[in-house]
Structure 1
Amino acid sequence: MTTPLTEAAEKERSGDALSADFYSYEDLLPPEERKLLLKARDFMRTEVKPLVNEYWAKGEFPHQLVDKFRGLGLAGVPYEGYGSPLPAGSNLLIGMLSMEYTRTDASSATFFGVHNGLGMYSIYRGGDQQQQDRWLPAMAALDKIGAFAMTEPLGGSDVAGGMRTTAKWDGENWVLNGAKKWIGNATFADLIVVWARDEDDGKVKGFVVEKGTPGFSPVKIENKIAFRIVENAEITLTDVKVPEANRLQRINSFRDVAEILRATRSGVAWQALGVMIGAYELALEYAKERRQFGRPIARFQMVQDLLVKSLGNVTACWGMLVQLARLQDAGIFRDEHSALAKAFVTSRMREVVSWSREIFGGNGIVLDYDVARFFADAEAIYSFEGTREMNTLIVGKAITGESAFV
């Protein structure tokens, strides 16, 4: 049995609903959560979109956005008691917010995601109460910016067993040595969660390295073709001294780290959905406006075919992620759930951005039309937080009981 939308809800949707929300998924949010989603939508449209292409072209992060994100007041949404505007934001709201940021710009939205997800969640999940109280309020207020340093120059998919960055207790401090690569926000972050292998027991541990610590040297990675606004860095750690108070007390092995990655991997799937929606919406509007042979190209059968295939991908992936959020809220969320979502949704994203760019023809390679940015940024999302191949093997092991990892 269906329940018709109220007149007020219909009116609200007519002005704020997405053309890509063909099955009205947003209506699953309760009113107080949907207000936050619409707040984020308006913010991204008015504060972020006007800056995006200029800074993407320059390959620079617009630092004035930090103050604007601070005014938005949504950094603490996932963390009850640490700045959340709600008693506890649902995983559906958290996912849709990630989608909303990325729908406008995946690159600048990743700044927020790295801080709000990887950085804050590492401390929320891995820190003790004292550490949470010490860092999370300032991070929720964006008074301190966070980063997450896991990937290494010689270790990506195999970093769990092949982490080369080391930690050694010298009797007074932990001493870190090694290197990290592709670390978002690291050039300017105040708190960087660095993962290193304890030389004594061989276990992976987490350390909060504070900005300005001697021996910590981040260098911005240049010449990227994707995520050009994100300030990814290659980090060198040379005898970096970290006190025991900065070691995440509830992280005792890579298994604990995997719990963090499980949650953030689902966030990447939501980002991929946002990229799909952003590219599809651009293509749909362009098809209505662009005229060839005396009529809008939206009247051409082959253009409609590309648009409908794109909408089908968006709708199917959105439904998958809605159920994924429900599994998270129910506490029955497993590694293979997020792995399947990341692998499947990012693959469908690649199709949609390609079809959307195709609809633009030659204009699709010009930054002024925005779709080229989505097309390029999709490649970064496709690759990080586990490649399609690695996530496929996680799911394959779960469904067959056989490990194909080497």
Structure 2
Amino acid sequence: MTPTPLDPMDLAGIDDLLSDEEKAVRGTVRTFLDRRVEPFVADWFERGEVDDVRGLTQELGALGLLGMHLEGYGCAGMSAVDYGLACLELEATDSGIRSLVSVQGSLAMFAIHRWGTEEHKQRWLPLMATGEAIGCFGLTEPDHGSDPASMRTRARRDGDDWVLDGSKMWITNGSIADVAVVWANAGEEHGGIRGFVVPTDTAGFSAPEIKHKLSLRASVTSELVLDGVRLPAEAVFPEVRGLKGPLSCLSEARYGIVWGSLGAARSSLDTARRYSIEREQFGRPLAGFQLTQQKLADMALELVKGQLLALHLGRRKDAGTLRPEQVSLGKLNNIREAIEICRTSRTILGANGISLEYPVIRHMNNLESVLTYEGTVEMHTLVVGQAMTGQQAFR
């Protein structure tokens, strides 16, 4: 029997663990990105602006990628592993494109799907699944990121209405969103932290775009300002109270990062591998030097381990046995190793590594944001530490 040729980017043969359907999903996403995004994304990053972002969102919706792991309401109802593979391919193109998809599906749509009323679901989810409506998720505040329980955004009752005042910061999709899921403190008498579905054309709502970023430049990032935003009684999520609501959404988004960060790592590693074979120094290819091969081997090893961990967590999610602590374990490991792969890949490219002619510096800069959003390394370390010891060390 003739052995299958070894794929240098799949040294462990992880593809053998995927079904034909899962490979088909991955291939469909890759084909779309190669045509629609790859030729333009370096320019978008350099300009800090995505051309026709609404059109792109609708194309992503037509492909079934928006809320793809949710059931009903026009969503594709695909598996967690399918979703993870899509996130990997999206982030192999650019973290900002993966963020667009994951904030739409795993934060805004998931929040409405899991906690909203039937009216919320019927009104918003079909439009969001097609990309006709864009959503954002307002939790982080200017002074409160890792400690959302201390949020200052307030919701008060005024007759039958709710009135929201406050601000949110670093909100993906904010200034292009049609609907925002906003978390606010309603006071103990009304259940503490509550979630609200806020149409962005509501009086008092504004979303100034954040400029001067050196990371996630191919992504819309905004502040949300809520100045006496008046909402009807039915705008609130009726049952969920406290941090359970937003944390359940964050766990969904973090799962996508477990996979997505590996896409940036894979792209950088493959770029470095190809470059090392083509680039000559001292009369032979860079790939022929032991120190270069050590870098490539170490990076490949960490990529393989991250892929196996992501796939294992995906299978657990599909089986209904995935715990938030396990998502933290995956996010902590995979983003930390992914950013190190990007940095090491940059060294193999030398000065060329800082050029947008290659994707490495773009991935590296993007992952500086992914490293700290949806939970910093420190916070996920303490989640894992608490799971191991039973001792809470956050304060």
Q: Which consecutive residues of structure 2, in runs of 5 or more, have no partner in the other structure? A: none
Q: TM-score, normalised by structure 2?
A: 0.94
Q: How far apart, CA to CA, are the structure 1 residues paired with 2:79 and 2:356?
A: 35
Sort the Cα spacing of 1:268 and 1:329 in 2 relative to 1 into closer, same or farther, 3 A: same
Sort the Cα spacing of 1:29 and 1:130 in 2 relative to 1 into closer, same or farther, 3 A: farther
Counterpart AA for 1:83: G
Q: Do 1:76 and 1:82's aligned partners in 2 also have CA atoms closer than 8 Å?
A: no
Q: Which consecutive residues of structure 1, in runs of 5 or more, have no partner in the other structure? A: none
Moved more, 129-138 or 312-321: 129-138
DSSP-derived class of the 1:194 partner: strand
Matching residue of 2:21: 32
Q: Do 2:106 and 2:249's aligned partners in 1 also have CA atoms closer than 8 Å?
A: no
Structure 1 residue 141: Cα displacement: 0.9
Matched, 1:282 2:252: no
Structure 1 residue 267: Cα displacement: 1.4
Structure 1 residue 72: Cα displacement: 2.3
Sort the Cα spacing of 1:94 and 1:18 in 2 relative to 1 into closer, same or farther, 3 A: farther
Q: How far apart, CA to CA, are the structure 2 residues paired with 1:262 and 1:398?
A: 16
Q: How far apart, CA to CA, are the structure 1 residues paired with 2:216 and 2:371?
A: 12
Q: How far apart, CA to CA, are the structure 1 residues paired with 2:12 and 2:159?
A: 59
Matching residue of 2:355: 366
Cα-to-partner distance string for 1:245-293 (whole Å, 9 max, x where unaligned): 2222242221232222222212122121111111111111111211222
Q: How far apart, CA to CA, are the structure 2 residues paired with 1:76 and 1:217?
A: 25
Structure 1 residue 97: Cα displacement: 0.8
Q: How far apart, CA to CA, are the structure 2 residues paired with 1:272 and 1:289?
A: 26
Q: Do 1:61 and 1:108's aligned partners in 2 also have CA atoms closer than 8 Å?
A: no
Structure 1 residue 36: Cα displacement: 1.8
Q: Do 1:128 and 1:250's aligned partners in 2 also have CA atoms closer than 8 Å?
A: no
Q: Do 1:75 and 1:140's aligned partners in 2 also have CA atoms closer than 8 Å?
A: yes
Matched, 1:168 2:156: yes
Counterpart AA for 1:230: S
Q: How far apart, CA to CA, are the structure 2 residues paired with 1:250 and 1:30?
A: 38
Q: Given the alignment, which residue of 56, 68, 71 partners 2:62?
A: 71
Matching residue of 2:245: 256
Structure 1 residue 82: Cα displacement: 2.9
Q: Given the alignment, which residue of 8, 14, 21 partners 2:10?
A: 21
* Within-5 A mapping of 1:39-118: 39-62=28-51, 63=53, 64-85=55-76, 88-118=77-107
Q: Given the alignment, which residue of 323, 328, 340 partners 1:339?
A: 328
* Within-5 A mapping of 1:99-178: 99-159=88-148, 161-178=149-166
Cα-to-partner distance string for 1:6-37 (whole Å, 9 max, x where unaligned): x9xx7xxx9xx975333233343332332121
Cα-to-partner distance string for 1:227-247 (whole Å, 9 max, x where unaligned): 011111111110001222222
Q: Do 2:272 and 2:346's aligned partners in 1 also have CA atoms closer than 8 Å?
A: yes
Q: How far apart, CA to CA, are the structure 2 residues paired with 1:21 and 1:315?
A: 8
Counterpart AA for 2:150: G
Structure 1 residue 155: Cα displacement: 0.2
Moved more, 382-391 or 165-174: 165-174
Sort the Cα spacing of 1:169 and 1:26 in 2 relative to 1 into closer, same or farther, 3 A: farther
Matching residue of 1:353: 342
Structure 1 residue 206: Cα displacement: 0.9
Matching residue of 1:291: 280
Q: Do 2:22 and 2:81's aligned partners in 1 also have CA atoms closer than 8 Å?
A: no
Q: TM-score, normalised by structure 1?
A: 0.92
Counterpart AA for 2:157: W
DSSP-derived class of the 2:66 partner: coil
Q: How far apart, CA to CA, are the structure 2 residues paired with 1:83 and 1:76?
A: 9
Instruction: Detail structure 1 runs of 4+ shifted over 6 Å in the superposition.
Output: none
Structure 1 residue 118: Cα displacement: 1.0
Q: Percent identity?
A: 36
Q: How far apart, CA to CA, are the structure 1 residues paired with 2:305 and 2:22?
A: 23
Sort the Cα spacing of 1:18 and 1:386 in 2 relative to 1 into closer, same or farther, 3 A: farther
Q: How far apart, CA to CA, are the structure 2 residues paired with 1:250 and 1:133?
A: 18
- Pairwise CA RMSD: 2.0
Q: Do 1:77 and 1:83's aligned partners in 2 also have CA atoms closer than 8 Å?
A: no
Q: How far apart, CA to CA, are the structure 1 residues paired with 2:260 and 2:8?
A: 18
Matching residue of 2:392: 403
DSSP-derived class of the 2:225 partner: strand
Q: How far apart, CA to CA, are the structure 2 residues paired with 1:296 and 1:249?
A: 63
DSSP-derived class of the 1:102 partner: helix
Sort the Cα spacing of 1:71 and 1:328 in 2 relative to 1 into closer, same or farther, 3 A: closer
Q: How far apart, CA to CA, are the structure 2 residues paired with 1:101 and 1:114?
A: 13
Matching residue of 1:315: 304
Q: How far apart, CA to CA, are the structure 1 residues paired with 2:12 and 2:276?
A: 22
